[in-house]
Structure 1
Amino acid sequence: MHAASLVKPGEDSRDASYVRYDLLVDKYANSRQRDPKFEPKPFFGQLENIFVVRLPVARVLKTTEPTTLILAAIHSCTLVAHNSLEIQYFQKLGRTEVVDMTTIQCLIGRVKVNNMWAILDRSGALTQAFYDPDDE
């Protein structure tokens, strides 16, 4: 896995900076009267950079010992279509998100198809992360 801002692939090499990452999304985000219910949703994007943030003990943050966060800046893919085989397609990159590094699940491939990119995610259902709301 490479951060795109740090490693530029050669002409004849693969771009190992595209990843699948899973985030918890509120199923009822458009309904303010309902309590949130979070479900995992896969996203795709280009890993731009990795940040290591060291936080000291801080009463405001309710930390009792120094903490290290590892964050990933990801330029998200704007999905435009998918086919019957659930292959996703994108034409361009959208916004940049900063997420916890542990949300990154795997590298993905991409193949140019006409004016779009097809996302090749070979991770399969058994290797995907899951969220158990009762395990907190």
Structure 2
Amino acid sequence: MAVLVLSIGFLGMGALLAKSLSTNNSAMARSMATIASYSIMDAMRADYASASAGQYNTAQPIKATACPDASGSLANYQLNQWCQQLGNNLGKADSTTGAIACTATGNNVDCTVTITFDDSRAGTGGSHTQTVLTRGML
């Protein structure tokens, strides 16, 4: 009888550890998406003239499986590097996307960065698609 109780206890602990790992993985993915959004915001701050001219804006979300060409300008290079970062950290899948929308108003540039990724490994209920939206002024 004692062996049965211990076995059930060990199975419960194993399930608890597995659930903990999946939720920690989900939290790490959201943190990496937040870091990526701040990364491109900092790149746009460093290249303010291009950002205020709308060169970082994306007409369609950039897919991590089809990163834009890095040649031609600093903005293209930064967008390519950002896309690579999204793919490396959140998975190279069509569901991993990033979008940027900047609007210049006077001397300010208001930017919104949207990152979407598949969080199905989290194992939680609800939507598997997660979106991290970061808005800031350059």
Into which bin does the TM-score normalised by the smaller protein fall? under 0.3
**Higher strand fraction: Structure 1 or Structure 2?**
1
TM-score, structure 1 as length reference: 0.25
**Structure number with larger C-alpha Rg:** 2
**Higher helix fraction: Structure 1 or Structure 2?**
2
TM-score, structure 2 as length reference: 0.25
